[in-house]
Amino acid sequence: MFDSKVIHVNDENFVSEVLLSAKPVLVDFWAEWCGPCKRLGPTIEELSNEISTVKVCKLNVDDARETAMKYNVMSIPTVIFFKNGEIVAQEVGLQGKAHYLEIIQKL
């Protein structure tokens, strides 16, 4: 097993890790009880280890309710891409790795 480069964010560190990041950020909004979120997990891990141009983060919606509500996350998994503190793309539901790579290429 390889070391994960995924950064776990929450209400306290979201601004510093995501909004103030010098590089684009992928944030996976997820929860322990969510089946599709668990299936997406390995894809997020792979992206974090394969892509150096984007910071990869996970936010547990049960532990960071304020941030999840701020970004109107109603369904999970939701993956939001941020650049310079702004949302540049948002995907709701389970998507394939190729789909996320396509978005990352455009950042």
User: What residues are labeled active site?
Assistant: 34, 37
Surface-to-core class of residue 73, CB atoms within 10 Å of its CB (0-12 exposed, 13-18 middle, 19+ buried): buried
Beta strands across the sheet bearing 78-83: 7-9, 55-60, 25-30, 78-83, 86-92
- Measured distance CA(83)–CA(28) in Å, rounded: 15
